[in-house]
Amino acid sequence: MEHLPTLHTAPERLRQLNDKTLNADGKFLLYWMQHGQRAHENPALEYAIRWANDLDKPCVVAFSLMDDYPDGSLRHFQFMLEGLKEVADRLAERGLKFCLLHGEPSKRIDEFAKDAVAIVTDHGYLRIHRRWRAELAESLSVPLVRVEGELVVPVETASDKREYAARTIRDQIMERVDDFSGQTSETKPKHASKNLHVRGDLDFTSVEAVLDNMKIDRSVPPSPDFTGGTSQARNRLTSFLRSNLDGYDDGRLDPVDDATSHLSPYLHLGQISPCEVLRKVRGSSAPKSDRAAYVEELIVRRELAHNFVWYAPDDYDSLNALPDWAAETLENHKSDDRPDHYTRDELENGQTDDEAWNASMKEMRLRGFLPNYMRMYWGKQIIRWTNTPDYAHKTALYLNNKYFLGGRDANSFTNVLWLFGLHDRAFTEREVFGKVRVLSRGGLDRKFDVEAYVERVEGLHP
């Protein structure tokens, strides 16, 4: 297409991914929802509705569910479907049809889109999400337009290269935050699509009914603590703003209080907009230092993680992506004696001699969540207790993505590599870790009430 309409969307958020032209005879404009799984404050959805209105066509929304999505289990699918059910209901209130397809998105969306005028989608960062978009851009005969709505500052606007650390990207992001954090207003669809003769593959009568039709790994049960969806995310945000933002700067690492926002699973699936979270945090009456500390995590750290996976697409899940100093020092200490050694099964089952570590593994298995400091402590000990850095990395990533509701995210790959020195600096040289930062059990004991933490986790039940 020669001119992509901007339709009240920042041009930096828009990218046409192929050079196909509109199908004027198409029956509807399709929003292929993938990462932005919400019907509120979703720039891709609103862009699709506005474009459909301009073209005098209805807008249809489709999501394609894949049984064998990497590391997906009942825990992840149930949480995601809870969110999608809310999306379907909210879209129906707006007169829009939501179709649940079944299969690899690049194939199912291509087939489903035969009668579409054009397709809008949101932004995905991981290899698999980039591949789906690239394959669709090629196979579709109509335009595929990507709208960034999952980061406050679009990744290529913040920086055109892989950044070294938070300090090298912070100013670039923070200088542009005000340009991109405004509210995405809702547009009324000119034409309802809910009665169009298009059908999804799965009837979305209930989450359970859809799950019954899927062939998925059911070995990881749903989290008793987290229910998916935008309303749940908004409730968590409201209660965090009311009770815990005040004190976040000092308290955010304390695993006993566990007083952070717990939004990572929701942000992971786009069930809440980071712009909405940012505006509400900035507008709160909590002390400036607490608001600033939260913005550092939500914006600088989270968007640095996306910068990393975006600019290191082939390596973000391997030690090859480490900075030279970290790779060298880990190689030099590869053969150091490990004080203790545990197999992957022993680790997964929390059978080490460290009761704090076992508690962290139990919390991860049961809740699908772990307070931030315990994630660091947990991961660092895996380096200490396994034969090689490479095996430690594979084990940490496997457990992270299997159990965390917010796993399989840009944040997951980036933070697991942080354990090995990514985005960090060199420290005094030690056994096994070399110059990579060490977190010891002694340090954990000095900082927190470990007994109280273990007790809290003992109280958790499936």
Ligand X SMILES: Cc1cc2nc3c(=O)[nH]c(=O)nc-3n(C[C@H](O)[C@H](O)[C@H](O)COP(=O)(O)OP(=O)(O)OC[C@H]3O[C@@H](n4cnc5c(N)ncnc54)[C@H](O)[C@@H]3O)c2cc1C
Q: Which residues bind ligand X (CB under 6 A)?
A: 252, 260-264, 267-268, 297-298, 301-302, 305, 372, 375-376, 379, 400, 404, 406-407, 409, 411-412, 415-416, 418-419
Query: Residue 23 or residue 78: which is nearer to ligand X going by CB?
Result: 78
Nearest approach in angstroms of CB 82 to ligand X is 18
Comparison of 32 and 266: residue with beta carbon closer to ligand X: 266
For residue 260, the minimal CB distance to ligand X (Å) is 3
**What phi and psi, each to the nearest 5 degrees, are found at residue 121?**
-140, 175
Q: Please, which residue, 379 or 434, has the CB nearer to ligand X?
A: 379
Note whether 39 and 230 are within 8 A (CB).
yes
Q: Which two tokens stand for residue 220?
A: 């990881």
Residue 200 or 274 with smaller CB distance to ligand X: 274
Shortest gap between Cβ of 371 and ligand X (angstroms)?
6
Closer to ligand X by CB, 190 or 362: give it. 362
CB of 421 to ligand X, least distance (A): 13
Please, are residues 319 and 169 in contact by the beta-carbon 8 Å criterion?
A: no
Selection from 263, 227, 229 nearest residue 244 by Cα: 263
Residue 427 near residue 436 (C-beta atoms within 8 A): yes
CB of 330 to ligand X, least distance (A): 16
Hey, is 65 helix, strand or coil?
strand
| CA gap 344, 382 in Å, rounded | 9
CB atoms within 10 A of CB 437: 18
CB of 400 to ligand X, least distance (A): 5
- Tally of CA atoms within 13 A in the half-sphere of 342 that contains its CB: 21
Q: How far, in Å, CA of 187 to CA of 207, rounded?
A: 28
The single residue listed with the structure tokens 């707006």 is 94
Nearest distance in Å: CB 241, ligand X: 11
Q: What span, in angstroms and rounded, lies between the C-alpha atoms of 227 and 439?
A: 32
- Nearer residue to ligand X within complex by CB, 214 or 259: 259
Q: Are 136 and 110 in contact (CB under 8 A)?
A: yes
Task: Output 110 or 409, the one with its CB closest to ligand X.
Answer: 409
